[in-house]
Amino acid sequence: MSSENQYDIAILGGGPGGYIAAIRAARHGLKTALIEKEKIGGTCLHWGCIPTKGLLQNAQVFRHCTESDSFGIRTGEVSYDWEAIMERQRGIIDRLHKGVQSLMKKHQIEVIPGFGRLASPTSLEVETQEGARIVQAKNIVVATGSVARSLPGVQLDEERVISNVGALTMKKPPKSLVVIGAGAVGVEFASIYRTFGAEVTILEYLPKLVPLEDEEVSKYLFRCFKKAKMNVQLGVAVQTVENRGDHVQVTYKKGEDLVEMEAEMCLVSVGRKPIVEGIGLENTKAKVERGVIVVNEYCQSDEPTVYAIGDVIGNYLLAHVAEVEGLLAVDHIAGKGPEPIDYSAVPRCTYCHPQIGSVGLSEKECEEQAIPIEVGKAQFMPNGKAMALGETDGFSKVIRHAETGELLGGHIIGPEATDLVMEYVVAKKNRMSAASIAHTIHPHPTLSEVNLDALHSAIGEPVHG
């Protein structure tokens, strides 16, 4: 085996977790290879987080233009150029992709294009355009990510019956869209295409939108979506989705009734499936249970030389979690003695309209765990900055331990909630008391004052209530 095929660490998968891990490994002085079958950046950069946020911003600008009369600005009839919108999206992706590629070169990371699979605990076989290549590595990090799930009997064709990929590559917005699944992906695309004029129907099996969020947040989003004239059906079970050529026919069960409806397109957003099959794990001692790779607190599998991060270990299928897991795994490989990740302080962000940002326990979870709590809440409605922005929907909610005062959870729905939640994330991670944040000066006028009002309310010192 030539030295050019021998590495200290080889990373299988070039998404956010994989390429961040590669950079950290190179900074530790480890000879690093990164194996990626498509493009560096993974689903997040090319088919997920980034292009979706680009589209959401386009939708927000379009919405502001249609509502400009309320700001005293007369624009006349407002229209959009879908091809220009798509071009802007591609431009953002291209710039970020080139940035990641330059980082690979800067840190002398060898990027090997091709499909890789583990041949042993310390080697991978990579199918490249030039043929098979064996890569030897002292340690391997599996970061293969996930793919969109579908429903039994529902075939994704990315034309009429689509996943997130089809939703980001359509030639024009549909006149009507059925969204199956009301998690983050579903409600984000529902917001986007409703803003661009589509008649949107959301079908959710569970009894609430964004099922992982606090009950009050879910109910508030439901009211906002109804106000936006979306058809939201909760507690329903989809039976069939058929591509009829020029439309789709969806059949779902509501109670004892079977309901049929037609739409131009159907988006299936019912979660993602970790990629753990076909990558050679059977050639190692690494275990797969319930569809994910079993790892310890350092992301190390039962095979000491094989680590796994991101979607394939199933903790949180979020890019920012994969990145932190990548850093942890590499630091452990390098013998840096890292601290395990505190998963109780993972921020959850949903970029629908209005936005949702949350961290920690919900009120219901606290009740289920018999934790004594005090809750504070404040609306965006009376906030001066929110009024100036014309974005007054929503609230900020704080949950603290009634005895210790520690902040247990923070839940925001409203303008820039995905940024505002970071204040609560820092507090949760550092086990801070709600009082200590409430007694911290917040700038005026800012949206952060809504958090401040919620904190004051939680500690029994309401200022504006």
Residues noted as catalytic: 444
Sign of CA dihedral 205, 211, 216, 217: negative
Q: Which of 74, 52, 55, 54 is nearest to 65 (CA)?
A: 74
Q: How many angstroms separate the CA atoms of 85 and 78, rounded?
A: 15
Q: Which of 355, 344, 402, 356 is nearest to 376 (CA)?
A: 402
Cβ atoms 93, 50 nearer than 8 A: yes
Q: Answer left, alpha or beta for residue 125, where phi above 0 means left and psi between -120 and 50 means alpha.
A: beta
Coil, helix or strand at residue 185: helix
Sign of CA dihedral 16, 284, 286, 140: negative
Q: How many angstroms separate the CA atoms of 169 and 159, rounded?
A: 9
- Which residues neighbour 313 within 8 Å (Cβ) at sequence distance 6 or greater? 274, 292, 293, 294, 295, 299, 325
- Which residues neighbour 443 within 8 Å (Cβ) at sequence distance 6 or greater? none
Encoded amino acid at 174, one letter: P
Provide the H-helix boundaries in 319-380: 319-333, 363-368
Cβ atoms 139, 8 nearer than 8 A: yes
Q: How many residues does the chain have?
A: 465
Angle at which helices 448-458 and 422-429 cross, to 10°: 50
Provide the H-helix boundaries in 122-179: 164-169
Q: Which of 33, 19, 36, 37 is nearest to 136 (CA)?
A: 33
Q: Which of 279, 412, 294 is nearest to 354 (CA)?
A: 412
Q: How many angstroms separate the CA atoms of 366 and 344, rounded?
A: 13
Q: How many angstroms separate the CA atoms of 194 and 119, rounded?
A: 48
C-alpha distances in angstroms, 13 versus 19, 112, 132, 146, 175?
8, 10, 17, 11, 37
Q: Which of 169, 196, 189 is nearest to 78 (CA)?
A: 196
